[in-house]
């Protein structure tokens, strides 16, 4: 039998032969790389649930000035202890409860690495932020997706039955939920936590926009609860990539073993620390975002051609009796970019608009009215 290695040079520099591609795990090859569908450069960007408020210029300048003292040639500390302590003290948590990551997206992979064995069932309500399902698939888990009720609210009874039937090592909730904008009642989150025999992750990326009790309050009594938060939304730091995970310290100690060192670069740590000191500015921005979302919802509801979901976040789902891909492009032609939700089978026909500044929302409504007339 010929055991000599294949002549790879024969394939040239552009082609990767099939036998090499076949060495890539099938769980990876069956995925699609993450792209934001329908994105194109237009003046008003309302497609990614970002804060419309950048860090004010004066504060940015002061931050960058103080960053001049930071040595770029030195590694950051293995874990950003200053930032971790600041988050723990802001949230009133015992030391060791927080783990920081390069955006909460990155921390979802940590969940997969720690909790999912190939073939494990993972129960989650649908529609859910797509990254979670792809993470489960990448780690070889089996998604048990629970359909929502007809009004897109969580079907908590169906969720509880699935937990009872499959006994999953991991249940994932997002509340308030992206892409629906709807929150799960705290009492229902508690029922899920109590009925689960494995871990329950509650992604609270949009918590600051919703007044309900946080799942953080369950951590003390329930060692299976893990909360994810981010500074990308209410804190307006999507460009810097800062998310964090909260759980009982003994669990964080274990999860920490799966982490790469130096996950957070020094600029992100520096800016996040200073922003945590600016709570009155951030609170004002959140208040404005809430008011703008409420008035945008009202405006959308007043247009008789639209179906609109009431939002508990900073974005709104709506639909018209139109093909959503064309609807999105017609709106983009008018200068505003929203998101097509067609990738979620439960949300066929829906578009999602992030609430921006008052002026951005006005421009979006003008674009919408122009398109609805055609
Ligand atoms: C539910 C949910 N979780 C997490 C994220 C991403 O957070 P991060 O920017 O911290 O990775 C998003 C972003 O859209 C989201 O909708």
Looking at the domain assignment, is residue 60 inside a domain? no
- Residues 233, 285, single domain; the answer is no
Q: Ligand 1 centroid vs 353 CA: distance in angstroms?
A: 16
Q: Is 205 in the pocket of ligand 1 (CB under 6 A)?
A: yes
Q: Residue 222 is part of a domain; what is its CATH number?
A: 3.40.640.10
DSSP 19-86: HHHTTS-HHHHTS-----TT----SEE-SS---S-PPPHHHHHHHHHHHTTS-TTSPPPSS-HHHHHH
Looking at the domain assignment, is residue 272 inside a domain? yes
- Residues 263, 287, single domain; the answer is no
Q: What angle do CA 237, 254, 197 make, to 5 degrees?
A: 95
**Residues 196/164, Cβ–Cβ less than 8 Å:** no
Q: Is 177 in the pocket of ligand 1 (CB under 6 A)?
A: no
Atom index in ligand 1 nearest the CA of residue 49 equals: 14
Q: Ligand 1 centroid vs 334 CA: distance in angstroms?
A: 27
Q: Which of 278, 304, 330 is the last residue of a domain?
A: 278
pLDDT given at position 39 = 83
Q: Ligand 1 centroid vs 288 CA: distance in angstroms?
A: 21
- Return d(Cα 133, Cα 145) in angstroms, integer: 9
pLDDT given at position 15 = 84
Question: pTM for the complete prediction?
Answer: 0.95
- Residues 82, 211, single domain; the answer is yes
- Return d(Cα 126, Cα 147) in angstroms, integer: 5
**Residues 51/285, Cβ–Cβ less than 8 Å:** yes
Q: Using DSSP, state whether 201 is helix, strand or coil.
A: strand
Looking at the domain assignment, is residue 246 inside a domain? yes
Q: Residue 287 is part of a domain; what is its CATH number?
A: 3.90.1150.10
Buried b / exposed e across 258-290, counting CB within 10 Å, b at 16+? ebeeebbebebbbbbbbbbeeeeebeebbebbb
- Residues 114, 240, single domain; the answer is yes
pLDDT digits over 149-206, tens only? 999 999 999 999 999 999 999 999 999 999 999 999 999 999 999 999 999 999 999 9
Token duo for residue 196: 């689960």
Looking at the domain assignment, is residue 315 inside a domain? yes
- Residues 273, 286, single domain; the answer is no
Atom index in ligand 1 nearest the CA of residue 106 equals: 11
Q: Which of 278, 302, 324 is the last residue of a domain?
A: 278
- Residues 213, 295, single domain; the answer is no
- Residues 119, 260, single domain; the answer is yes
CA distances from 244 to 7, 88, 182, 255, 278 (A): 47, 11, 22, 12, 19
Q: Is 204 in the pocket of ligand 1 (CB under 6 A)?
A: no
Tell me which residue range forms the domain holding 267: 73-278
- Residues 339, 273, single domain; the answer is no
Q: Ligand 1 centroid vs 34 CA: distance in angstroms?
A: 13
Looking at the domain assignment, is residue 168 inside a domain? yes
- Dihedral (C-alpha) 300, 304, 306, 312: value to the nearest 10 degrees? 40
Q: What angle do CA 55, 293, 370 make, to 5 degrees?
A: 105
Q: Which of 250, 278, 306 is the last residue of a domain?
A: 278
- Residues 230, 212, single domain; the answer is yes
pLDDT given at position 34 = 86
pLDDT given at position 13 = 66
**Residues 89/116, Cβ–Cβ less than 8 Å:** no
Residues of the chain predicted below pLDDT 70: 1-3, 8-13
Q: Is 103 in the pocket of ligand 1 (CB under 6 A)?
A: yes
What domain count does the chain have?
2
Looking at the domain assignment, is residue 145 inside a domain? yes
- The residue to mutate among 233, 268, 341, 352, having the most atoms of ligand 1 within 8 angstroms of its beta carbon, is 233
Looking at the domain assignment, is residue 25 inside a domain? no
Looking at the domain assignment, is residue 162 inside a domain? yes
Atom index in ligand 1 nearest the CA of residue 105 equals: 11
- Residues 146, 270, single domain; the answer is yes
Q: Ligand 1 centroid vs 167 CA: distance in angstroms?
A: 27
- Residues 210, 306, single domain; the answer is no
Q: Is 110 in the pocket of ligand 1 (CB under 6 A)?
A: no
- Residues 267, 184, single domain; the answer is yes
Q: Ligand 1 centroid vs 104 CA: distance in angstroms?
A: 6
Ramachandran area for residue 152 (φ above 0: left; ψ -120 to 50: alpha; else beta): left
Atom index in ligand 1 nearest the CA of residue 174 equals: 1
């Amino acid at each position: 039998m010929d055991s000599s290695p294949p002549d790879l040079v024969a394939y040239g520099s552009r082609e990767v032969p099939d036998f090499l591609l076949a060495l890539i795990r099938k769980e990876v090859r069956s995925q699609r790389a993450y792209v934001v569908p329908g994105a194109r450069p237009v003046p008003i960007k309302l497609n990614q649930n970002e804060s419309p408020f950048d860090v004010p210029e004066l504060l940015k300048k002061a931050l960058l000035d103080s960053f001049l003292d930071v040595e770029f040639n030195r590694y950051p500390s293995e874990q950003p202890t200053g930032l971790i302590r600041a988050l723990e003290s802001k949230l009133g948590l015992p030391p060791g409860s927080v783990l920081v990551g390069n955006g909460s997206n990155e921390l979802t992979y940590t969940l997969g690495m720690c909790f999912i064995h190939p073939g494990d069932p993972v129960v989650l309500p649908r529609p859910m932020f797509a990254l979670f399902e792809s993470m489960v698939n990448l780690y070889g888990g089996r998604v048990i997706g629970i359909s929502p009720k007809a009004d897109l609210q969580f079907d908590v009874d169906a969720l509880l039955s699935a937990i009872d039937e499959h006994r999953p090592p991991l249940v994932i909730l997002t509340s308030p939920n992206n892409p629906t904008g709807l929150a799960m009642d705290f009492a229902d989150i508690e029922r899920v936590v109590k009925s689960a025999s494995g871990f329950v992750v509650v992604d609270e990326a949009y918590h600051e926009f919703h007044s309900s009790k946080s799942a953080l309050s369950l951590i003390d009594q329930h060692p299976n609860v893990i909360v994810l938060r981010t500074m990308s939304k209410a804190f307006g730091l999507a460009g810097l990539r800062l998310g964090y995970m909260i759980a009982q310290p003994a669990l964080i100690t274990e999860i920490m073993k799966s982490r790469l060192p130096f996950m957070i670069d020094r600029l992100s740590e520096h800016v996040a620390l200073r922003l945590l000191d600016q709570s009155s500015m951030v609170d004002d921005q959140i208040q404005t975002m809430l008011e703008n979302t409420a008035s945008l919802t009202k405006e959308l509801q007043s247009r008789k051609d639209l179906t609109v979901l009431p939002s508990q976040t900073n974005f709104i789902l709506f639909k018209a009796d139109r093909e959503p891909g064309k609807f999105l492009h017609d709106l983009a032609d008018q200068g505003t970019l929203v998101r097509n939700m067609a990738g979620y089978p439960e949300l066929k026909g829906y578009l999602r608009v992030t609430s921006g500044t008052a002026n951005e929302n006005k421009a979006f409504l003008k674009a919408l009215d122009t398109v609805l007339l055609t």
